[in-house]
Structure 1
Amino acid sequence: MKSQLHWPDDPPLNINRHFLHTHLKENGCSSEIVDAFMGHWDAGQEPWASYSTLCPQEYRNLLTPIIERLMVRLGWKALKGAAL
């Protein structure tokens, strides 16, 4: 990556997470949705707890088109894993 990006130093190890977080926010995802996706929450804010008000279908419907457009733009495709 260093040679491709022409950076003077090594990129941070979690550059992929920064990229995805920024992309989701720039494409209209709320902080609540982005934090749930990235695994960022504090006690009492867990998106998948018994009394959470985050709807899994709404969560999926918000993220899917944004992630699918990103994958197409970058030329990525989903691959079937060994477990499936």
Structure 2
Amino acid sequence: MFLDQYGNPKEVTPTRLHDHLQWIDSPPLNINRHYLHTRLKESDLSSEVVDAFMGHWDSGQEPWASYSTFCPREYQHLIASVIQPLMVQQGWKALKGAAL
């Protein structure tokens, strides 16, 4: 989300994102998802784990369904082992917010 000049949350829409980024070129606005999907696949995670993270699954394959055998703890461990180093590599860090 974006915050307006009064601190009110505003939904990220393609138009708002385009206006905010002010890029000279116009790459696809979901370029981040393509990049992340590629990095996850390169990390040798199973397709099932990558698809769960990206929200890609077909009917009957939902990882969070009542009768799914998908283990949330194992999933969290697998995803964190790739996402955390990726975030460090790219310079992401947690910042203290006004609410804390």
TM-score range, shorter chain: 0.7 to 0.9
What TM-score comes out, normalization by structure 1 length?
0.82
Q: Is it true that 1:27 corresponds to 2:51 in the alignment? A: no
Query: How is 1:35-54 mapped onto 2 (pairs within 5 angstroms)?
Result: 35-54=51-70
| Distance in 1 (alpha carbons) for counterparts of 2:35 and 2:91 | 16
The CA RMSD measured in Å over matched residues stands at: 2.1
| Distance in 2 (alpha carbons) for counterparts of 1:54 and 1:83 | 34
By percentage of residues, which structure has more helix?
1
Greater CA radius of gyration, 1 or 2?
A: 2
Which is bigger in relative contact order (C-alpha 8 A, separation at least 6)? 1
| Number of positions where the alignment pairs a residue of Structure 1 with one of Structure 2 | 79
Instruction: From the superposition, tell whether residues 22 and 82 of structure 1 become closer, same or farther in structure 2 (CA, over 3 Å).
Output: farther
Structure 2: gaps spanning 5 or more residues: 1-20
Please name the residue that 1:58 is paired with.
Answer: 74
SS of residue paired to 1:16 = helix
